[in-house]
Structure 1
Amino acid sequence: MRFVVFLVFAILNIVSPLVESVSADTLRVMLHTGSFPPYFFEEGDSRSGIIKDIFSALSNETGDTIEYIRVPFNRALYKFEAGQIDIEPMTNPVWRQNSKVPGVYSIPYTVSEEVVIFNSRHFISVDSPEDLLGKTIGVVRGYRYPKFDPYFESKRIIDYRLENENKIVQLLLAGRLDQALINLDFANYQIKKKRLGSQLKVGKPFSVRDMMIRFHPNKIKMVPRFNKAIEKLLNDGTIKRIYDRYR
């Protein structure tokens, strides 16, 4: 009997790691072309960025392998809907409510703050979209801005659609735009690293949203273990330390 019990435990010790290995997966994660610091940098850049650092920490906990798919933003959204990308790493359901494949979301692991950024010579205090009636505002093509979209649709505010956030900053510095809507972390990173504090000024946040991982429905089984990993990384301060590297 003792031999049988020993044999059962021996078999379990061998099988358990194999089960964990089989349950691990290779996940295709959306990462756009170009750069969006501090979240990600151009391919070949020695800096990894917040998204890669966070997913490196998550995959260490879950055992999954991460493969990054770099394509233009709108193409990335299409590939997610087609099941050719498994994960959008940082988003909110409000931004994807019109998607053909809304997806399944993890628990939040950070927040995203969106602000109005100005060419310093044209700064005004903005408390609501009403303060920008009649003005032209730089925005990223393909993005949704729930608080401003009704004003764009009615033309009470003119949206000037650009390829990405880097192009927005270029036009602000050149004086071709007076103001734009932009991510706060991106704005602060640009101002700090390029010493643009005298040329660009950041206004109040107009949107603060929880950031989650969006999984394609065919990867729904991954959500519980990623939620468990997120909770651990939040509790032990890992995610905060990753953000602090880029601030």
Structure 2
Amino acid sequence: MLSFRLPISCVLLACALNAQAHTVALVVLVDTATEMPMASFKQFRLVDGIHKDIGEALAARMGRSARFMALPRKRITKALETGEVDLVCSYVPEWLPGRFGWSIPFIPITQVLITRSDATRPRKLADLKGRRVGTVLGYSHPELEQALGDGFLREDAPSSEANLSKLTAGRIQHAVTGKSFIEYRLKKSDPPLALHPPLDVTQYMGQCAVSPKGRVTLAEVDAALTQMVHDGTINTIVAHYR
């Protein structure tokens, strides 16, 4: 019987390639307009928040490391289409047209209307007709469009943070924002702001949009997310920021 011995350099190379195959990064896109508790950036690098924790947990379930890419909203679609990123999470198909794979719904998200306490409190969405409402540039609000029609007067700002500043200064009386965002800020009293109880605008379960040219399949993402939902990982991450 013939016996062959591979050079040690070849053995080491094979081991290195094998290890590399199992540590390929999961590239997670995060919108730069996202704010805490969902995301915090430092010099365009994601450093904290729910997106970071979920991305790292999701990558670990697939035997990968997580790498985050911060991009403005207008570049999200192209980055997914080209495979520059593997996925973006906490979205729904109505917000992101394109031929992407959509994961199971896994994270509850509520959009609310907040109103200064010295302004008339709206009891229903129709009460906002003709009133300026702080919104974030590039985000659609079909519930308000349907309820108000031409009476939906958007006051666009680059972020919810900017709208909160405008509310504090009295430049607007109402704004649409994420419930988790305003609860996080009010808990920290930053800034101190007296508001009426918020009015729910819409509730939905966020999903991940998976690139058709990415390094992971929709089935892999769904399997990992299903485990994270069932073992309480998602709830634990979200509760950490309440």
Q: Classify the TM-score, shorter chain.
A: 0.7 to 0.9
Residue equivalent to 2:131: 135
**Aligned counterparts, 1:43-192, within 5 A:** 43=42, 48-96=48-96, 99=97, 101-128=98-125, 130-150=126-146, 154-192=149-187
1:230 aligned residue (199, 213, 225): 225
Report if aligned partners of 1:34, 1:43 keep a CA contact under 8 Å in 2: no
AA aligned opposite 1:231: T
Equivalent-residue separation in structure 2 for 1:157 and 1:89 (angstroms): 28
For the residue of structure 2 that corresponds to 1:241, the secondary structure is helix
For the residue of structure 2 that corresponds to 1:180, the secondary structure is strand
**Aligned counterparts, 1:195-206, within 5 A:** 198-206=193-201
Residue equivalent to 1:13: none
AA aligned opposite 2:130: G
- 1:46 deviates by 9.5
Report if aligned partners of 2:86, 2:214 keep a CA contact under 8 Å in 1: yes
Runs of 4+ in structure 1 deviating by more than 4 angstroms, as ranges, are 18-21, 44-47, 195-198
Equivalent-residue separation in structure 2 for 1:20 and 1:227 (angstroms): 24
Equivalent-residue separation in structure 1 for 2:32 and 2:157 (angstroms): 15
Equivalent-residue separation in structure 2 for 1:82 and 1:225 (angstroms): 19
Q: List alignment gaps of at least 5 residues for structure 2.
A: 1-16
- 1:109 deviates by 1.1
Higher helix share: 1
For the residue of structure 2 that corresponds to 1:39, the secondary structure is coil
CA RMSD of the aligned region, Å? 2.7
Label 1:192 to 1:134 Cα distance change in 2 as closer, same or farther (>3 A). same
Residue equivalent to 1:3: none
AA aligned opposite 2:32: T
Moved more, 107-116 or 214-223: 214-223
Equivalent-residue separation in structure 2 for 1:33 and 1:51 (angstroms): 12
Report if aligned partners of 1:24, 1:62 keep a CA contact under 8 Å in 2: no
- 1:123 deviates by 4.5
Equivalent-residue separation in structure 2 for 1:199 and 1:208 (angstroms): 24
Q: List alignment gaps of at least 5 residues for structure 1.
A: 1-17
Equivalent-residue separation in structure 1 for 2:222 and 2:18 (angstroms): 20
- After superposition, give the CA deviation of every residue in 1:34-81 in whole Å (9 maximum; x if it has no partner): 650001112269962111111111111111232211122223344334
- After superposition, give the CA deviation of every residue in 1:96-135 in whole Å (9 maximum; x if it has no partner): 2xx2x2411111111110000112211513323x111111
Equivalent-residue separation in structure 1 for 2:189 and 2:78 (angstroms): 34
- Report % sequence identity: 24
Equivalent-residue separation in structure 2 for 1:244 and 1:221 (angstroms): 28
Label 1:22 to 1:114 Cα distance change in 2 as closer, same or farther (>3 A). same
For the residue of structure 2 that corresponds to 1:148, the secondary structure is helix
Equivalent-residue separation in structure 2 for 1:102 and 1:24 (angstroms): 27
For the residue of structure 2 that corresponds to 1:186, the secondary structure is helix
AA aligned opposite 1:75: R
AA aligned opposite 1:117: I
- 1:178 deviates by 0.3
Report if aligned partners of 2:145, 2:152 keep a CA contact under 8 Å in 1: no
Aligned residues: 226
Equivalent-residue separation in structure 2 for 1:156 and 1:70 (angstroms): 34
TM-score (norm 2): 0.82
- 1:245 deviates by 0.9
Equivalent-residue separation in structure 2 for 1:123 and 1:48 (angstroms): 36
